[in-house]
């Protein structure tokens, strides 16, 4: 399996990167070096300094979000609500703090490991949310700023989806972002049961 190259992540069109992340395979080897992986089925784009929902809004730059200013292809992992981690993929060139939040996966490899980490529950709940998938994949802040071209966490090509298989809608949990809360910057695979169970209202049909 071949890792996605730097070129994939460095593109300046964050929406395009976000949509193309759907169907990619996220791989994080476990403590024994065995592959644990899932296909990305839901993402959200955070559009940098002009996006009121983004941690880098208005050019905010702190120890926490420093890596979002790095060149594309690194991960931004942050801790939220006192108990959850969230995984983001940094995109674009350096000093262009756009990221794509990985909101849900479909388990592919190492499902038993995921079940152990998550505890007893239906498989469809293992990775159907940004906090859940970080537990299932053992992603926490120790992976923050890791390079996706390295050996701890990476992405591979897996499946291709057409535009008509992708739904678009508002991002979730960002009511504080005023008018930017309305932006159609959330993307998911239609009918995939691992998409997070929220307002799956589709705003518009995807472009051609």
Residues that bind DNA (CB under 7 A): 44, 46, 53-56, 60, 62-65, 76, 78-84, 86, 88, 99, 101, 121, 125, 129-133, 141, 172-174, 176, 196
**CA neighbor of 104 nearest in space, from 86, 122, 80:** 86
What are the DSSP E strand ranges found in 50-200?
75-80, 84-91, 98-109, 154-156, 166-169, 186-189
| Nearest approach, Cβ of residue 73 and DNA (Å) | 16
Minimum distance, C-beta of residue 19 to DNA, in the bound complex (Å): 16
Q: Answer whether 75's CB lies under 8 Å from 87's CB.
A: yes
What per-residue string of b and e applies to 115-135 under the rule 16 or more CB within 10 Å gives b? eebbeeeeeeebbbbbbbbbb
Smallest gap from residue 43 Cβ to DNA (A): 10
Q: Which is nearer to DNA, 88 or 192 (CB)?
A: 88
- The residue among 163 and 173 lying less far from DNA, judged by its C-beta, is 173
Secondary structure (3-state) at 174 = coil
Minimum CB–partner distance for residue 201 and DNA (Å)? 16
Closest CA to 186 of 171, 165, 201: 171
CB of 98 to DNA, least distance (A): 9
Specify the residue, 56 or 157, whose C-beta has the smaller distance to DNA. Answer: 56
Nearer to DNA, 34 or 93 (CB): 93
Identify which of 185, 2, 5 has the alpha carbon closest to the alpha carbon of residue 100: 185
Which two three-digit tokens encode residue 57? 């809004």
CB of 114 or CB of 174, closer to DNA? 174
The answer to whether 166 touches 22, Cβ cutoff 8 Å, is yes
């Amino acid at each position: 399996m071949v890792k996605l190259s730097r070129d994939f992540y460095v593109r300046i069109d964050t929406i395009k990167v976000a949509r193309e992340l759907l169907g990619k395979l996220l791989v994080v080897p476990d403590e024994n070096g065995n592959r644990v992986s899932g296909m990305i089925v839901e993402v959200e784009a955070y559009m940098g300094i002009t996006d009121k929902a983004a941690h880098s809004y208005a050019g905010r730059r702190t120890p926490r979000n420093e890596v979002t200013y790095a060149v594309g292809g690194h991960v931004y992992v942050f801790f939220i609500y006192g108990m959850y981690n969230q995984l983001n993929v940094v995109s674009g060139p350096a000093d262009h703090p756009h990221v794509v939040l990985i909101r849900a996966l479909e388990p592919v490899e190492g499902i038993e490991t995921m079940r152990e980490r998550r505890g007893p529950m239906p498989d469809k709940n293992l990775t159907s949310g940004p906090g859940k998938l970080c537990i299932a994949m053992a992603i926490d802040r120790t992976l923050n700023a890791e390079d996706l071209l390295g050996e701890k966490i990476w992405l591979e090509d897996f499946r291709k989806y057409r535009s008509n298989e992708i739904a678009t809608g508002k991002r979730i949990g960002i009511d504080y972002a005023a008018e930017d809360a309305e932006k159609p910057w959330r993307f998911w695979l239609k009918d995939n049961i691992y998409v997070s169970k929220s307002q799956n209202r589709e705003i518009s049909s995807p472009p051609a």
